[in-house]
Amino acid sequence: MDIGYVISDSMKYPSTNWKNVIILGLLFMFSFLIVPLFLLYGYVFRVIKASLAGIEDLPDFEEWGEMLVDGIKLFLVHIIYMLPAMILVIYSIFAFAMALHSFSNLNPTTTLNPTLIYSLIGGSAAVGLVLAAIYSLIIYPIMTVGIGNMAFHNGDLGSAFKIGDILTIISEIGWVDLIIWYVAMIIICITIFVAGTIIAMIPLLGWLLLTLIVYPYLYLFFGRALAWLYASAFTEEYEP
């Protein structure tokens, strides 16, 4: 896979239609209302499907009902894949709360060492957070290919969880190429996020630019790059 081309093409892709970027930004702005969040996810999923179909321009905002359903599906995929990590995080929060409670309620005359109890329970919480982070780092690229598989099969939710098929596709992509793509996405997304945070320091205008341009741009960039990653499994010699 030509990662250089994938990155350059994906970075240029949102500029094919700035109006749609801003519409996506408006959905992001009102994502706290839940429905716009699902529509945002649905549009990103439509970007992946359109890119896999060889369409070079951003897809239109139409068939909103279908887009909403696709967004809910994409949200469910994230929830199901990340459920173990979420359980570990919840456990860690609960364990840390228990540590604070135990430390604050121990009788000073007790023979137990309060610092030891606090350290044991707090350490358990830290281990839970570390395990959640490790799980997320490992499962996310697999989930990404699963999303590509769902898009390839026209939104079939079950296709996102066919682990055997997904692992076969990853073997065709190449584990090394997948890891390189994954690391590149992390670096680029963090860079854009940091740049966006700096832009947001500009009163009002910065917040508008961050919401209407930077964040939707990031979503579209990632959706396009995901499609290229998945498509690379189906060519013997990857040439975008």
Residue 97 included in any domain? yes
The total number of structural domains in the chain stands at 1
Phi-psi region of 62 (alpha: psi -120 to 50; beta: other; left: phi over 0): beta
Residue 239 included in any domain? no
Whether residue 118 is predicted with pLDDT greater than 60 in this model: the reply is no
- pLDDT band (50, 70, 90) for residue 46: very high
* Confidence (pTM): 0.84
Domain span at 44: 3-234
- pLDDT band (50, 70, 90) for residue 240: very low
The residue-averaged pLDDT of 169-186 equals: 92
Q: How many CB atoms lie within 10 A of CB 15?
A: 11
Residue 240 included in any domain? no
In this structure, what is the dihedral angle of CA atoms 45, 50, 51, 53, given to the nearest 10 degrees?
130
The number of residues in the chain equals 240
Tell me what percent of the residues of the chain surpass a pLDDT of 90: 55
pLDDT tens per residue across span 131-153: 888 999 999 999 999 999 999 99
pLDDT tens per residue across span 180-234: 999 999 898 888 878 877 887 888 788 888 888 888 999 999 999 999 999 998 8
CB 204 within 8 A of CB 189: no
Residue 8 included in any domain? yes
Whether residue 114 is predicted with pLDDT greater than 70 in this model: the reply is no
- pLDDT band (50, 70, 90) for residue 237: very low
Give 196 or 69, the one with higher predicted confidence.
Answer: 69
How far apart are alpha carbons 78 and 128 in whole angstroms?
A: 20
Q: What does the block give as tokens for 233?
A: 């499994």
pLDDT for 89 equals 84
CB 142 within 8 A of CB 161: no
Residue 216 included in any domain? yes
Whether residue 105 is predicted with pLDDT greater than 70 in this model: the reply is no
